[in-house]
Structure 1
Amino acid sequence: MNVEIKKALSENKKSIKLENTGKLDSIAVGLGPGAEITLTGDGGDFVAALNNGASIEIGGNVGRYVGDNMTSGEIIVRGSADDGVGFGTYNGTIIVNGNAGNAVGQLNKGGVLVIDGNIGDLAGLYMLSGDIIVTGDAGEDTGDWMIGGNIYVAGKYQTGTNAAVKELDPEDNEKLIKIFKTHNINANAEDFVKIGPQELRPFYGKDEEEEASK
């Protein structure tokens, strides 16, 4: 399937619709700028992984690790997603119009991940940068050991180690309003809390910090 997709793109067919793919894994992987891919039904695991600039829309639900390690582009999931949405994302945007499982945005390095629903546990684990936006509830250990970036949650949540709840500033409000308007998400910025890192160097204990200052 991916060979045929890349063959069509090499022939300057930039807009491609995929039908009746079932729940095949690793569809539309590693595509570059200019490609517009529409998957009309559900997708399996690792859909649109390693995305490097393509615009990819999935009409149904997806399995685990959609957009895994993407570097740029946009992925829109019209249904729900399983675990690992946007794992290790460097940049780009992922929109899930339903719920998502555990491990959303773990090791996020700069991507914008929007879940228009509820998510599971351990979102944003070890994240370094970027934004995770959840219009519903988040599970346990949200932001566990996060080092940078922001997690915005409108519903219930339980923070993890080194995660602290902070007030939204005008820049946060402006960012959320713009994202919601761009992607037709029915949410209000004032309903959200922001979760960020409590310490910038969470893995250093007092002994190590004292030693480093010598």
Structure 2
Amino acid sequence: MANVITSEGEISTRQVNVGIKNEIANEKHLLTIEMPKKLDSIAVGLGDGVSITLKGDVGDFVGALNNGAKIEIEGNAGRYIGNNMTYGEIIVNGSAEDGVGFGTYEGTVVVYGNAGDGIGQLNKGGLIVIDGNIGDLAGLYMLSGDIIVTGSTGIDTGDWMIGGSIYVGGTYKTGTNAQIREMNDYDRQKLENIFDIYKIDADIASFTKIEPKKLRPFYGDEK
């Protein structure tokens, strides 16, 4: 059964986060929270076994440092959703701004809409799925993991990427140390499985795979 945290009048980030911690302390791990306005840094640093639905638009850094919780946002999200998360799942049923999944270690972030610049920068092993279009510099300095964009990207996609893969269903412009690689059966099966799990309707045959040219791009021509 869902628990709803509400407050009459003005509500702050602290009030919401204290309410979440109190509910968890009372062994209530399935929460629904009405968001009367966009607040930053909601549901930060939560652990495994917690499932939270945020009803309404949210601000920046929601779900940052997530360590196992499932967070679903029924609205649009601000910047740096899932920043530096280590585990868990964040679902945005709307659009998101810049920096989705910045510095993610593991876990999954899915945005059912468009997103801004810097998607998956410094990704260290997470899965970031954008079911729409994104801006520039996706995957900048990414080390591992996957970024999947069903629509188009802006400029410098995969700029200075060191590891991992970026899959783009629309148009793109690659950055330094990024190159196009042929999709293989493993890639197609990976996308099919992810699209099946998250109910994404996309033509796998239209996707392009982007990977790094060199594993050590900062050392001149060294291979």
Q: TM-score, normalised by structure 2?
A: 0.92
Give the match for residue 125 of structure 2.
Answer: 110
Whichever residue aligns with residue 203 of structure 1, its letter is F
Does 1:140 find its partner at 2:131?
A: no
For residue 137 of structure 2, the aligned residue among 119, 122, 134 is 122
Which residue in 1 is equivalent to 2:87? 72
- In structure 2, which of residues 59, 64, 69 is the aligned counterpart of residue 49 of structure 1? 64
User: 2:99, 2:119 within 8 Å by CA — same for their partners in 1?
Assistant: yes
Q: Shift of the alpha carbon at 1:190? A: 1.4
Task: Give the drift of 1:191.
Answer: 1.2
Which runs of no fewer than 5 residues in structure 1 stay unpaired? none
SS at match of 1:84: coil
Q: CA RMSD in A?
A: 1.0
For structure 1, which segment, 92-101 or 187-196, has the greater mean C-alpha deviation from structure 2 after superposition?
187-196
1:20: Cα distance to partner? 3.0
Shift of residue 52, structure 1, vs aligned partner: 0.3
| CA deviation vs aligned residue, 1:108-139 (integer Å, no higher than 9, x gap) | 00000000000000000000000000000000
For these two proteins, the number of residue pairs brought into alignment is: 208
Of 180, 189, 208, the match for 1:165: 180
Q: Percent identity?
A: 65
Query: What is the 5 A alignment of 1:1-214?
Result: 1-206=16-221, 209=222
Are the counterparts in 2 of residues 177 and 188 from structure 1 also a CA contact under 8 Å?
Answer: no
Check the 8 A contact 2:158/2:210 in 1, yes or no.
yes
> Secondary structure at 1:201's aligned position in 2?
coil
Structure 2 distance, partners of 1:128, 1:169, is: 21
Task: Give the Cα–Cα distance (whole angstroms) in 1 for the partners of residues 34 and 19 of structure 2.
Answer: 13
Q: Is the 8 A contact 2:147 2:166 kept in 1?
A: yes
Unaligned runs of at least 5 residues, structure 2: 1-15
Query: Deviations along 1:14-45, whole A, 9 cap, x unmatched?
Result: 10111034100000000000000000101000
**Alignment check: 8 A CA contact 1:99 1:115 kept:** yes
